[in-house]
Structure 1
Amino acid sequence: MIDSVFSISFDELSPARDVTRGKRAERGLLREFIGDAQNSLIRHAADSILVDPPLHSPLLFYGPTGVGKTHLALGLIRLWQRMHPDSRALITNGMDFTRAYREAYDADAIDDFRQRMRNVGLFFLDNLEQLPENETAQVELRAIFDELEQRHGQVLINSRSLPADLPQLESGLVSRLHDGLAVQVTAPGPAARRAILRRLAEIHGLELADRDLELLADELTSS
């Protein structure tokens, strides 16, 4: 570790066979998450997913858009999938989950919906803040979390804010989410930005002088 910079590598992994909506990770330039001291708790969170039973479920990453939450989560899912090749991971987001629930309810197919959502080893909900004010859908989501906990499954959540700061969430779901671990993901500091730029330069076969790295890292400060 240099200047408190760390890397969680997602390399040397085969694509997750049973992960849905996972193509975003395949198109990413970095097959690792690079962070620094202000994001040091992420390392513990990553390790906690890769043990049986998981140490923290639900595990929630929260922070503003663009800090790498989804990149991190999809990479951790790849690591989890490699350790659990016979288990299925399901990836959805707040809006899609609610839409699927409503469609199943209208079609009198709730049992099929529950089978699809609960028969997994890992459940990832991206963009918790997109979950609309629909109490029945949120109660259903909480039941999924309870089911996975009973079977020692992993629940992974991404959100822009802590659950308590999302007014549309019903109190039971907020309480359930706070039973797990919430980890803040912040924008990388100067040392981490330099490490990210250096790694991207390597990927693209570019050579950047230290001064160029410093200038680019400074340009990214407000990005």
Structure 2
Amino acid sequence: MISGTFTLASQSATGTASSAAGTASRARASGTAAEPLLFGPENGIVRRLETLVHEPQPAFNPLVFCGSSGTGKTSLAMLLVDLRAQHLQTTNVFRTTGADFARAASHALETDSVAEYRSRMGRADIVLIDELQRLANRAAPLEELQNRLDGWLRRGSLVVVTMKTLPVETAGLSPGVISRLSAGLCVPLLPPEQATRAALLAHYAEREQLTLSTDARERLVQRTNSTPAFLTAASLRHALLQLAHLSSTNKRPIDEALVDELLADHLPDEKATLRQIVTTVAKHFEISLSALKGDCRQRNLVMARGVVVHLARQLTSASFATIGELLGKRDHTTILHSARKIVELIDLDPELRQHVEHLRQQLTATEVHR
């Protein structure tokens, strides 16, 4: 590993070789926080957080992670929540998003069920609110969040939040919410620098058992005015899968020339890629697009939606919210649950695992030749 980089992992991602291998395969399928996360010196403060979640009462609360798309803030938040839950040996975790919190709070107010709503949330030992900035300019939900934050912090519950920007820089938040979030630890996450991208690339190449020439590695992680760089972990992983397909199909080594061919074509538009995943999965399982995006809970449809979710997380950098929007405007929490459930099914069902691998190969081939 390159000097200065370090990893964070849940207990389930460490241990014996066999359990680690199982975790790695599940992480590849889901793209969830079960996979160890690698950070570079540009995000060195993250190293301190692993010990913080093991303290009886965290020294900093709330924990607020800020950063642009692809910096890993949601994956880091999920991992720290998992670590805290393992330490406390609790399953009493409340996970939501800013948009879902706003909808639930508004519904509780409209249906006169505020007491039940507050009781359900108030018992949580750990709270995760992803994309909190989506609460901006929502006066009633923001007031409710301020009250819930007071309750959680009095109770000693760890609150973990992700946002695009620092609370004080996020337009539309109330002063009360800003002050409570800012009283904890706000951690701006930066995109990986070149040395960290090199470490990420080495990690993914080893995991996929791929050999890249030195020139190919340098070409993939460099940043120049004339060459697009793969600046996030997700984009590097995606590029490596495409290179693996090109190498296998054309029986060529992964060298600088092959990387240049990929760079010349650029990566496909993400929305187009997501639509291609949905269409390909529907055709493979012989179901209509309307059924796949609809409300029916038949087992085969639920399974197919799960396959779409984990392929989207594996092959693109799309967020849970973006995937949910494409799958019939499903909310972030539903997609997150689907991502976790499909991992269990893939792990238990060899036939489903074969379907998934076939679809992955088909989709990477389609993207390379588009």
- Tell me the TM-score normalised to structure 1 length: 0.88
1:128-179, Cα deviation, whole Å (9 max, x unpaired): 1111312221121122221121121101010000111122111111111111
Q: 1:13–1:82: 8 Å Cα contact kept in structure 2?
A: no
Q: C-alpha separation between the residues in 2 aligned to 1:166 and 1:208?
A: 42
**Aligned residue in 2 for 1:125:** 129
Distance apart, 1:26 and its partner CA: 6.9
**Aligned residue in 2 for 1:37:** 41
The structure number with the bigger radius of gyration is 2
Structure 1 stretches of 4+ moved >4 Å: 23-26
Distance apart, 1:11 and its partner CA: 5.6
**Aligned residue in 2 for 1:28:** 31
Structure 2, unmatched stretches of 5+, are 15-25, 223-228, 236-370
Q: 1:11–1:32: 8 Å Cα contact kept in structure 2?
A: no
Which AA in structure 2 matches 1:220?
A: F
1:60-96, Cα deviation, whole Å (9 max, x unpaired): 0101111111111111122112112234111111111
Q: C-alpha separation between the residues in 1 aligned to 2:184 and 2:13?
A: 28
1:97-138, Cα deviation, whole Å (9 max, x unpaired): 000011111111101111121111111111111113122211
Q: Compared with structure 1, are the counterparts of its residues 202 and 94 closer, same or farther at alpha carbon in structure 2 (3 Å cutoff)?
A: same
Q: Select the residue among 179, 182, 187 that pairs with 1:183.
A: 187
**Aligned residue in 2 for 1:20:** none
**Aligned residue in 2 for 1:6:** 6
Corresponding residue pairs, total: 215
Distance apart, 1:48 and its partner CA: 1.4
- Tell me the TM-score normalised to structure 2 length: 0.54
Distance apart, 1:25 and its partner CA: 9.6
Distance apart, 1:24 and its partner CA: 9.3
Deviation larger for 80-89 or 174-183: 80-89
Q: Select the residue among 107, 110, 117 that pairs with 1:113.
A: 117
**Aligned residue in 2 for 1:193:** 197
Deviation larger for 29-38 or 196-205: 29-38
Q: Secondary structure, in 3 states, of the residue corresponding to 2:183?
A: coil
**Identity rate of aligned residues, in percent?**
28
- RMSD (Å), alpha carbons: 2.3
Q: 2:65–2:163: 8 Å Cα contact kept in structure 1?
A: yes
Q: Return the structure number with greater strand share.
A: 1
Q: 1:98–1:132: 8 Å Cα contact kept in structure 2?
A: no
Q: Select the residue among 216, 223, 230 that pairs with 1:220.
A: 230
**Aligned residue in 2 for 1:18:** none
Distance apart, 1:58 and its partner CA: 0.7
